[in-house]
Amino acid sequence: MKTKFLALAIAAAICSGCASQAPAPSPSNSQISDQQQLEAQQQILQQAPESVQLKRKIAVGRLSNETNYGRSLLRGADEGLFDNKIADMFNQAIVNTNNFLIFERQDISLLENEVALNDRVSEMVGVDTLVIGSLTEFGRSTTGERGFLSSSAKQEATATVDIRLVDVATGQVIASVTGTGSSSNEQSRTMGFGSVSGYDGSLNDQAIGAAVNAAVAKMSSLLLENPWSADILAVEEGNIYISGGEAQGIKIGQTFAVKTKGRRVNSGTTGAMITLPGSEVAKLEIAGTFGRTELDQGSFGTLTEGSIDGYDMATLEIVELAK
């Protein structure tokens, strides 16, 4: 009888121990998928002021790894392996925004060699903004719970990317943004059944990718706040031809201001060149577009107000109307 009572007491203790175990989570994949990252990036971009999104010209310069990720005791540096990976992620994220013309800078020496081999004249295009930055934080953590009959484990990777936007004309840092991302994976086992969690290295790249996407989304919002301008290519048979076409967001029927370019003067206080405000002299309505690629596309239209007679075309620019 005592033996039976003891067995019942042990069984009750086991049940009590199992009851105190927190519910084991079901196996799941990374909490942040590539599609979710892209949707979050587009959502941030939609919060930016609506405007004609003439694509800005940018280039990605140095994007380095300033963390211990990819380093070991036997080699103090990653020899650019992870720098290139971060730069490739960044370039792809910028392409996905469809708001920029991206020009190669990481492997520009290869392009220059090809131009020389083909005995061609280089037509490299300069950019308005250079992107420089680094992976500044990276971490891994593994947490879990272990009960009498069940256990769970969660792996999580977090990353932070800091970038700055540099005006290539002046060298001034015009903006700095930070992107943070994370990715995790949970596994659980109950009474020996369930999945076994090994080291998941893919979480590292997923977390860095999420941080890069967040930084690019913020960068896009900042650059799209500024109104864009285009130059006048030619005036022929009553039509005014300007740079920027359909691929850059220009549509038939849109109206833009024709302004004089403000005079540039040197500031004795800052030592920088300051552009004085120009004057609006006419309004241009787009009648059509032309060209095949983003670089050679243009638009043409006619004036609905004002006149540009007597002006040198080099002193005029096309500017988005204020809203």
Whether residue 95 is found in the same domain as residue 144: yes
Whether residue 207 is found in the same domain as residue 260: no
Q: Averaged over 15-27, what is the pLDDT?
A: 41
Whether residue 258 is found in the same domain as residue 192: no
**Separation CA 287–CA 221 (nearest Å):** 29
Whether residue 144 is found in the same domain as residue 239: no
Strands, E assignment, the chain: 56-65, 100-103, 129-146, 150-167, 173-190, 193-194, 229-236, 239-243, 255-260, 264-266, 273-275, 280-290, 298-306, 316-320
For residue 152, the Cα-to-chain-centroid distance in whole angstroms is 35
> Percentage of residues in the chain with pLDDT exceeding 90?
21
Residue ranges in the chain assigned as alpha helix (H): 2-20, 34-46, 81-97, 108-117, 202-224
For 91, 141, 259, 262, the CA distances from 277, given in Å and listed in that order, are 34, 54, 9, 5
CATH number of the domain bearing residue 97: 3.40.50.10610
**Domain boundary residue among 199, 225, 251?**
225
The encoded tokens of residue 243 equal 């740079």
Q: Indicate the burial class of 26 (C-beta count within 10 angstroms; 0-12, 13-18, 19 or more).
A: exposed
Whether residue 234 is found in the same domain as residue 151: no
For 94, 99, 139, 200, 207, the CA distances from 81, given in Å and listed in that order, are 20, 28, 19, 20, 17
**Domain boundary residue among 225, 253, 280?**
225
Whether residue 56 is found in the same domain as residue 197: yes
CB 21 within 8 A of CB 190: no
Q: Is residue 17 part of a domain?
A: no
Q: Is residue 310 part of a domain?
A: yes
Whether residue 172 is found in the same domain as residue 77: yes
Q: What is the pTM of this model?
A: 0.65
Residue ranges making up the domain that contains 152:
52-225
Q: Is residue 32 part of a domain?
A: no
Residue pLDDT, tens place only, 51-69: 445 677 888 888 888 887 7
CATH number of the domain bearing residue 274: 2.40.10
Question: Which distant-in-sequence residues (6+ apart) come within 8 Å of 288 by Cβ?
Answer: 252, 299, 300, 301
Q: Averaged over 159-181, what is the pLDDT?
A: 89
Whether residue 292 is found in the same domain as residue 201: no
Beta strands 298-306 and 239-243: pairing type? antiparallel
Q: Is residue 149 part of a domain?
A: yes
Whether residue 197 is found in the same domain as residue 235: no
Q: Averaged over 162-186, what is the pLDDT?
A: 88
Say how many domains are in the chain.
Answer: 2
In the predicted structure, residue 209 carries a pLDDT above the cut 70: yes
At 18 the pLDDT is 45
In the predicted structure, residue 151 carries a pLDDT above the cut 50: yes
**Separation CA 241–CA 289 (nearest Å):** 9
**Domain boundary residue among 225, 243, 276?**
225
Residue pLDDT, tens place only, 76-121: 444 556 677 788 888 888 888 888 888 877 777 777 788 788 777 7
Whether residue 217 is found in the same domain as residue 237: no
At 26 the pLDDT is 41
Q: Averaged over 259-280, what is the pLDDT?
A: 87
At 201 the pLDDT is 65
Q: Is residue 35 part of a domain?
A: no
**In which order are the strands placed within the sheet that holds 56-65?**
100-103, 56-65, 129-146, 150-167, 173-190, 193-194
Whether residue 214 is found in the same domain as residue 239: no
Whether residue 306 is found in the same domain as residue 194: no
Q: Is residue 296 part of a domain?
A: yes
